[in-house]
Structure 1
């Protein structure tokens, strides 16, 4: 940018500009094209179409920057389903031939062990290009950890992003108030470090469609490319070499013309403020601190990933809001016989402690009902709000109940779909062709972990087979978005943390944690969850006494971010929560002592139900 405020990207070799209006696009000098910022994720609705149409046919148009760090879970930024991005990308491809679609990806783990799994790729979003933004230069590394680049590229590829669709994002900032996810601060790369960053990227992504320097302008009191002539020289040499190559030209985003207000872009993995719904040019604001989804309980923030010196401003104030719609699909996973004190902070539960708890909301004082042991009474309580006087694990033949006053019967009466998915595995595993009402069904299936097998209004063959299904069917139903609204999920004895089971006896907590690390991401990436679904993970009972036991909640409508409370809950709280979500509250199961607001789980949510 020259002294008059006009674009002069050629001085550093840049030939792609980040713009947000037709006037900005038209003002680009010869040889420079524009990547149009949209920041919309509502699908190809009228607002989106109205935002895109003015740019169609402009000879300086390169493509559209759909979203910066979109979040398919709704935990760290406003919910952005892959299907919505697909609709937007498809509309652009159909109506603006040749225009590229682009997002910068959010990393859902640490910089040393990144993951983009179950987020976005060409298969589920039809987006053309994906920015990957590891920032390796940090105080805690006493230099730069270039392996962060290598593992980020590997993670992107393993998530389904083709090599040719990856856009390298180079670190060109440091200092200021940005905190990294390793407990330190980002440092401005030296000339030699910047060259090594580029050299590390080069063999990993040898011919990117374009590459991206973050950032030109300063923010949060940091240092950036605009203030370092030495770094500008490195980028000028890099860009000149790329432009002169016979392969696809590498292009990097320059600064844009300043607007009347100067704001900053959001952190890269945890935007807290959403774009205003009334404008097509507003970037997410960054006036609040955002929490990055990291694999530890440390709260950190990440820096932004764009090269603009300013961002789009809006005449309206943007605030973090949740959807006004109620909770849709519910997933309840019930684990076995473990005190919360044995799980929280345990090295045997790295997924729960490192991934789930920093993203979830959880209860610190959740118990099984008083003196309610062994397992069966607790499962019955989760379904009916009582144990019917049962204090053993006998089969349905001796413990069956004829009442129709239980949750799933109320759901069916209200026209709400439900299933229980009961896991089994190995040769001779229960296959769903019969109603599993005894200990002689399958291998690792346990009938006293299936409360529905104890209600005679369910166990007639037709109704049972319709609703009591093998867990092996769950992934298919999830992927095809045909799961019911209420899903009661029970791992088998190898995976539920049950004690004294030969297959998991070496470390039962680790076996269960590993199972969760495999299965929970499938739920969190599903359309049913992303559309205001809710996942509850709890345990049937404590291993000693009545608890506390775990209650973990993940939902686009949950508080998340590691929130916890010390409200006293037990299984009546979960049952009441389900009744309120599905609006089947007459009668309120669990009795009048448990009908006050303090006994449901609403405190774990931003809005409920």
Structure 2
């Protein structure tokens, strides 16, 4: 190793004014010589800098979300379902923020090929006059957020024939709640022919079988019209589309909701055994607000209606149409019945009609966002 006397250097080179520049040049040359002698790994004292490549990469991530994986709306985990009266599983409630922890995963919205809506979700409550229902705080609030049909009526008394009318366009002369097995076409047949998916969700419905019994706990068949028709009873594939209500949260979380959903609360939650005030509170917990329809899809129609009034008068009942496909806050005093609702769904999905009272009824108009 090269050794040089520091004292000798300073005396001979540095502190003699005439030779200062010469000494400085000699010292720099010495540093270069020592660096070379130390091999391939000299210690660097340079300050690290960001390279152009790194900056470009960060910018790309910030401006192009596709380059940085993040959950889409359909990938966000569903919030845990809550439990309502009598232990029913409730819909997860949306906070209204797309990626917030409480937002349910959105179901895929079909291509916009239908005039009014791409999906319909129907909830039927029990036995209340219009005036009784609209006096309930939540039902009144829901009406203000939706389209309120102020002149909508059931078609018969008691409950059972009204449910038949909703899916088959007729009461078939039935005037009691006694269960009948009918061999008539329904809207389910029309949907099968056109490839429109459907499902009935029923609270406390026995799981794992096609149950055609009259009652099980607080579930009653008279409120689930699909099972009054022999074609569905005898076809395992179709009867498998009648499911316990607990399946709803699963279908939402797996993006597998059908185009047509008919939700059947149990005897407590629909108000049959408990009254309209109880039913209204249950519905508030179930839906939360109209914003919850985000969980059902962007072009979903939410229908909340009653089967019949609580008396034998004009059978006027509370009915609202909710969701982003209608004009919120609108009221319509046009006279409508369950047959008009059925016809609206038939026309929307281009199903034709059943040749019953639905063929004579017109669709509900003047309430849709598309101007119809």
1:360 paired residue number: 146
2:306 paired residue number: 539
| Greater fraction of residues in helix | 2
Q: Could you say what secondary structure the match of 1:482 adopts?
A: coil
The offset of 1:525, in angstroms, is 3.6
- Give the whole-Å Cα distance in 1 for the aligned partners of 2:247 and 2:301: 20
- Give the whole-Å Cα distance in 2 for the aligned partners of 1:531 and 1:377: 32
Written as runs of structure 1 = structure 2, the 5 A alignment for 1:577-596 is: 577-594=344-361
Contact 1:365–1:569 (8 Å) recurs in 2: yes
1:550 paired residue number: 318
1:454 paired residue number: 228
What is the CA deviation profile of residues 22-72 of structure 1, one whole-angstrom value per residue up to 9, with x for unaligned ones?
xxxxxxxxxxxxxxxxxxxxxxxxxxxxxxxxxx96999xx89xxxxxxxx
- Give the whole-Å Cα distance in 2 for the aligned partners of 1:482 and 1:523: 20
Contact 1:575–1:589 (8 Å) recurs in 2: no
- Give the whole-Å Cα distance in 2 for the aligned partners of 1:556 and 1:337: 28
**Structure 2 counterpart of 1:480, from 238, 248, 254:** 254
What is the CA deviation profile of residues 233-270 of structure 1, one whole-angstrom value per residue up to 9, with x for unaligned ones?
xxxxxxxxxxxxxxxxxxxxxxxxxxxxxxxxxxxxxx
Does 1:471 find its partner at 2:239? no
Contact 2:257–2:296 (8 Å) recurs in 1: no
2:42 paired residue number: none
The offset of 1:325, in angstroms, is 5.7
Which segments of 5 or more consecutive residues in structure 2 lack a partner in the other structure? 1-54, 71-92, 104-111
**Structure 2 counterpart of 1:423, from 203, 209, 231:** 203
2:297 paired residue number: 530
Does 1:434 find its partner at 2:174? no
1:509 paired residue number: 276
The offset of 1:386, in angstroms, is 0.7
Contact 2:168–2:354 (8 Å) recurs in 1: no
- Give the whole-Å Cα distance in 1 for the aligned partners of 2:189 and 2:57: 60
The offset of 1:513, in angstroms, is 1.3
Contact 2:290–2:322 (8 Å) recurs in 1: no
Bigger RCO (CA 8 Å, 6+ sep): 2
2:32 paired residue number: none
Q: CA separation of 1:581/1:324 partners in 2, compared to 1, >3 Å: closer, same or farther?
A: closer
- Give the whole-Å Cα distance in 2 for the aligned partners of 1:335 and 1:380: 15
Q: Could you say what secondary structure the match of 1:373 adopts?
A: coil
- Give the whole-Å Cα distance in 1 for the aligned partners of 2:229 and 2:371: 30
Contact 2:202–2:224 (8 Å) recurs in 1: yes
1:565 paired residue number: 332
Contact 2:129–2:317 (8 Å) recurs in 1: yes
1:602 paired residue number: 365
Does 1:118 find its partner at 2:94? yes
Q: CA separation of 1:478/1:546 partners in 2, compared to 1, >3 Å: closer, same or farther?
A: farther
Name the larger-Rg structure: 2
Contact 1:328–1:528 (8 Å) recurs in 2: no
Q: CA separation of 1:577/1:58 partners in 2, compared to 1, >3 Å: closer, same or farther?
A: same
- Give the whole-Å Cα distance in 2 for the aligned partners of 1:592 and 1:410: 13
The offset of 1:436, in angstroms, is 2.6
Q: CA separation of 1:416/1:523 partners in 2, compared to 1, >3 Å: closer, same or farther?
A: farther
Superposed CA RMSD: 3.1
Q: Could you say what secondary structure the match of 1:553 adopts?
A: strand
Contact 1:432–1:465 (8 Å) recurs in 2: no
The offset of 1:565, in angstroms, is 1.2
What is the CA deviation profile of residues 509-556 of structure 1, one whole-angstrom value per residue up to 9, with x for unaligned ones?
222112211222498445563321111111100111233201111121
2:217 paired residue number: 443
The offset of 1:336, in angstroms, is 0.7
- Give the whole-Å Cα distance in 2 for the aligned partners of 1:120 and 1:57: 34
Q: CA separation of 1:383/1:120 partners in 2, compared to 1, >3 Å: closer, same or farther?
A: closer
Q: Could you say what secondary structure the match of 1:421 adopts?
A: strand
Which segments of 5 or more consecutive residues in structure 1 lack a partner in the other structure? 1-55, 65-87, 96-116, 128-157, 161-322, 425-429
TM-score, normalisation: structure 1: 0.43
Contact 1:434–1:461 (8 Å) recurs in 2: no
The offset of 1:466, in angstroms, is 1.4
Q: Could you say what secondary structure the match of 1:437 adopts?
A: coil
What is the CA deviation profile of residues 289-319 of structure 1, one whole-angstrom value per residue up to 9, with x for unaligned ones?
xxxxxxxxxxxxxxxxxxxxxxxxxxxxxxx
1:410 paired residue number: 190
Contact 1:529–1:555 (8 Å) recurs in 2: no
2:43 paired residue number: none
TM-score, normalisation: structure 2: 0.69
- Give the whole-Å Cα distance in 2 for the aligned partners of 1:388 and 1:481: 37
Q: CA separation of 1:393/1:59 partners in 2, compared to 1, >3 Å: closer, same or farther?
A: closer
2:127 paired residue number: 337
Does 1:520 find its partner at 2:262? no
Contact 2:94–2:294 (8 Å) recurs in 1: no
Q: CA separation of 1:555/1:58 partners in 2, compared to 1, >3 Å: closer, same or farther?
A: same
- Give the whole-Å Cα distance in 2 for the aligned partners of 1:401 and 1:59: 66
